[in-house]
Structure 1
Amino acid sequence: MKRINKLIGILAIGLFFSACSKFDDSINTNPNKASVASGTKLIANAELYLPDMSSNAYGNLYPQYLSNTTYTEDARYATVYFNFYSWYYQPLINLETVINSNTLDANEGPVVNQLAIAKILKVYFMWHITDRWGDLPYSEALKGKAAVNPTYDKQQAIYTALFKLLDEANAALNVSAGTIKNDILYGGDISSWKKLGNTIHMLMALRLSKVDVTIGKAEFNKALAAGVIDDNKFNLVYKHLAEQANENYWYNSFTRLGRKWYAVSKTLVDRMKPFDDPRLKVYADKNLSGNYTGLEYGLNTSVIVDDYSLLGAAIRQQNSPVYLITYAQALFAQAEAAKIGWIAGGDATAQVNYDLAIEQSIRQWNANDISGLAAFKAHPEVAYDANNGLAKIATQRWVHLFMNGYEAWAEWRRTGFPALSPPTGLGKPIPRREGYPTQERSANTANYNAAVAAFPYGGADDLNARVWWDKP
């Protein structure tokens, strides 16, 4: 995706002029540099990086949505260390600039709303990366020369800080004050941003289900009461365009580059096909024989592509959207919260939310067509069962989150559902985190070593250590 590099522009933001100048303003002012920051353009530039959270091979291999038809080492966990730097110097620095600016342009929309939206997006990006790596630079990050070698904050502290930012955003967002400009997600609509921020808050709170029930429950209910996504029209969806500069990642891979490297996994197809799941026709293409056939996950050899179902054509069109935070996710979260006693209603409320979550997932993926819903829900393996409520909720959440792989991987690590196994004969477990960039060992040695030594459950800097909320 083509992106405008804002780093040079950021350095020019917020020019200050001496109050004691004796010269005319026309002499002091450089007409080629803005004296007011374009907060909405910085926000828009940060939004361009959102699909990277989903459109990534590794993220969709860990939860076993896809299987490699060739170059199979990716599904066999050959890559251990991943670079997080680009998240900081691309979207996060743009958002930090907005948050710290004193010169935002009110002509682009209410300044309070610009600041609040920047905080919501900062939280979302930071939540994504801390759930991949664990402890990360946060309090000393994004400070330039003031903190060249930032310390690593504990993930628990990062979560606490992110909850605070979301509280600030929710309190500040002013629906009646008006929209903001240049917002490529919601067209500047503040009510949509308010629902999104609260939904992110609620989903983050549920991550604490095994490590801090008291805080998790309190934050969950606070967010729910503030108003979460309650219709698919409020989903966080990144809408690609039918142009090369802004096209879907999978279109570039399959069509532009001709790389038919990804089939849907046998793990996924076996969870969908026997139960007449109406989403399967969207998730997968039929193979040459006219069947939906999943490829065994993590094979050590290449296969004949036509024998297996490739990733669905609808998902890899040039302008195919990417679903990031959705109504169905919010409903699955409420179903689980009812089951574990975080909200009232027990299994009765859990079932209502579970059933509605499945319906809204099918509506989302099938262009609002629910003609196959009744037959799908009639299968005992799908119907809610109080004795296996958490497993049912987590499994259907996993099916729904297809191609939002890093989020699905996080939920699998937290819940353990569905039951997944590493590739046959590999001798390695499914990853629990991603390793820090190797550059940190030499560029930020002391802080890197301190972070590794303080892993919450021990282990080395590899794929097998666990992040804070992933309690064994």
Structure 2
Amino acid sequence: MKKIFLLLAIVLLASCRKELERINKNPNEPTTVQPDYLLSNGIKANVDTYWGPDAAMDGSLLYVQYWSKIQYTDADRYIAGAAGTQTVWSNFYAQGIEDFTTLAQLGDSLHNPNYKAVAIIMRSWIFQQLTDLYGDIPYKQAGQIASYLTPVYDSQKDVYTGLLTELKGAVATLTPGSNNIDGDILLGGDITRWRQFANGLRLRIALRIADRDNATAKAVFDEVTAAGTAALLPKDAVVKLNYLASPNQNPVGRNRETRNDYRISKSIVDKLKALNDPRLSIYATVPKDTNVIIGVTNGLPSDSAARLGFSKTSDAGAVFTATTAPAVLFSYTEQQFILAEAAQRGLTAGTAATLYNQAVTASFVQYGLAENVALAYLAQPGVLYDAVNFKKSIGEQKWLALFGQGIEAFTEWRRLDYPQLTPAYAGALGGKMPLRFKYPSSEQSLNGANYKAAVARQGADLLTTKLWFDVY
């Protein structure tokens, strides 16, 4: 009899639980993620991370000496905050890799290959940012937390080659003219432009590995260029996120609403002035108390920097700091620099000097300057393309052109070794410059075995450890 009562109690409890679950369901809350919302949020959140304070403003923009600090100068002296490093890692994985992995799966279940392909392209872009910053990272097992709570770190070589394969597949999957996608706040649902963006990323990564694996790099250039010019961005096209008014403003603009401790670096101001570069007045502001653009030396002690005066030194220009200033992910300018270097290296056809001139001209046009202004600029001895030292010509002009794109410029500076920058004045690295980001402390405590294996393979978890792609 007791067994019967016990069985009845279990049945009643189960019935009550089901009834409670039914009653407590919110009819206004969807149980299935909508792909358009996931795409919009994924783009915005991850471009915010890429353009925001931790990856850019207190990191790569300082390391590559686009910006400097006039207050709270620890970050400019290479004293990296643990919270910032953690935020970049966590945001890219939790708000990026996870979300776009889910969107790729939704693309399959909805029988819409364009959602899947776009998700793979954005996920690949995020993985590229992560490996560019940290080196070896969780890749193959990432985004599958149900199966891999502590994912293995893959070597940077494997990450890059894996991304090349994924991007190639995404390009083949995209179907312009059918399978429309909604929620695309980056490219407005233009599938042809997504294909061109993906091909641009393939060329970017191929050049990353060229010093290590020239044969694979050449194969990528052969594949992409064989598809013709339609496979690449057309003249003056830019892949960018156009920000709106608050609360959807540029993270740099949001930062400027409450802070004023960043300035343009003296390094880039000096270079622009030396070349009579008209982009100077676009990249920098004129201080209120002077009539001259003045940059700040990177890595000054806080007291020395503060004495320079907030109203006597130049901030970055409004094209980067305004509320609605766009965040650039890839551009025709960068594409032509890539093709110029590839031509010089024999990775693709074309005349390196011509492609270099196109890249510099495109940078001028990107910031509202006329082509004839660029032609006069290119005629200067300090700007003329030098095939003997192409890394200097391309490295310096690419550095000037990518102003604002901190992670990409930081990576290209490490790869090309130009421009030749002076370490922070009071830097904390013994006269050296950062070459990567350190892994977040959470990885040591939560994924310790895989973290230790990565460090043993790659080298000490220090800012000064060279990454695999950085050969010279």
TM-score by length of 2: 0.87
1:247 to 246, 249, 252: 249
Return the match for 1:452 from 448, 451, 455.
Answer: 455
Residue of structure 2 in register with 1:19 after alignment: none
The match for 1:231 among 235, 251, 259 is 235
- Matched to 2:51, the amino acid is S
Q: In the alignment, is residue 191 of structure 1 matched against residue 192 of structure 2?
A: yes
Distance 1:253 1:463 in 2: 25
Q: In the aligned structure 2, how far is the partner of 1:39 from the partner of 1:195?
A: 22
Q: How does 1:410-429 map to 2 (within 5 A)?
A: 410-424=411-425, 426=427, 427-429=430-432
Residue 391 of structure 1: how far off its partner (Å) = 1.0
- Whole-Å Cα distance in 1 between the matches of residues 188 and 107 of structure 2? 24
Alpha-carbon distance in structure 2 between the residues aligned to 1:75 and 1:130: 22
Which residue of structure 2 lines up, in the alignment, with residue 264 of structure 1?
A: 264
Give the 3 Å change call, closer, same or farther, for CA 115–103 of structure 1 in structure 2.
closer
The answer to whether the Cα contact below 8 Å between 2:108 and 2:116 also exists between their aligned partners in 1 is no
RMSD across aligned C-alpha pairs, in angstroms?
2.1
**Aligned-pair distance for 1:309?**
1.6
- Extract unaligned runs of 5+ from structure 2: 1-21
Equivalent-residue separation in structure 1 for 2:440 and 2:208 (angstroms)? 25
The letter of the residue matching 2:232 is: V
Aligned residue number for residue 54 of structure 1: 51
Q: Offset of 1:261 from its aligned partner?
A: 1.3
Structure-2 change in CA distance of 1:220 and 1:80 (3 Å): farther
Distance 1:117 1:194 in 2: 9
Aligned match of 1:322: 327
Structure 2 CA distance for partners of 1:371 and 1:470, relative to 1, 3 Å: same
Distance 1:208 1:270 in 2: 31
Instruction: Give the superposition deviation at 1:214.
Output: 1.0
Equivalent residue for 1:13?
none
> Could you say which residue in structure 1 is the equivalent of 2:433?
430
Find 2:92's aligned residue among 69, 80, 87: 87
Give the superposition deviation at 1:232.
2.4
1:283 and 2:283 aligned: yes
Which structure would you say has the larger Rg?
2
What secondary structure is seen at the aligned counterpart in 1 of 2:412?
helix
2:106 corresponds to which of 87, 90, 101: 101
The amino acid of 2:376's aligned partner reads A
What is the CA–CA distance in structure 2 between the aligned matches of 1:240 and 1:391, rounded to whole Å?
34
- Partner of 1:289: helix, strand, or coil? coil
After superposition, the Cα gap between the structure-2 partners of 1:102 and 1:68, relative to the gap in structure 1 and judged at 3 Å, is closer
**In structure 1, what is the Cα distance between the partners aligned to 2:436 and 2:270?**
26
Of residues 18, 34, 42, the one that matches 1:38 is 34
| Sequence identity (%) | 33
The runs of at least 4 consecutive aligned structure 1 residues that moved more than 3 Å come to: 29-37, 101-106, 368-371
Aligned residues: 431
Aligned-partner Cα distance in 1 for 2:329–2:104: 23
Tell me by how many angstroms 1:105 deviates: 4.2
Q: Distance in 1 between matches of 2:443 and 2:90?
A: 10
Equivalence for 1:364: 366
SS in 2 for 1:210: coil
Secondary structure at 1:286 match in 2:
coil
Q: 1:146 to 1:350 in 2, by over 3 A?
A: same
Q: CA deviation at 1:38?
A: 2.1
Flag the 1:326–1:102 CA change in 2: closer, same or farther, 3 A: closer
1:44-93 Cα deviation digits (max 9, x unpaired): 11100214213321120110001111111111100165221221111221
**8 Å Cα contact 1:335-1:350 kept in structure 2:** yes
Could you tell me how far 1:299 is from its partner in structure 2? 1.2
In structure 1, the gaps of 5 or more residues are 1-25
Cα distance in 2 for residues equivalent to 1:388 and 1:144: 47
| Residues 304-362 of structure 1: CA deviation (Å, up to 9, x unaligned) | 122222111232111111112000000000111111111134xxx11110111111111
Distance 1:425 1:87 in 2: 31
CA distance in 2, matches of 1:435, 1:361: 32
CA distances 1:223-259 after superposition (whole Å, capped 9, x unpaired): 33341212223x2111110x211111222222x10x2
2:138 is paired with a residue of what secondary structure?
coil
SS in 2 for 1:324: strand
Give the whole-Å Cα distance in 1 for the aligned partners of 2:263 and 2:40.
Answer: 33
* Contact 2:62 2:76 survives alignment (8 Å): yes
Find the aligned partners of 2:209 and 2:33 in 1 and give their Cα distance: 37
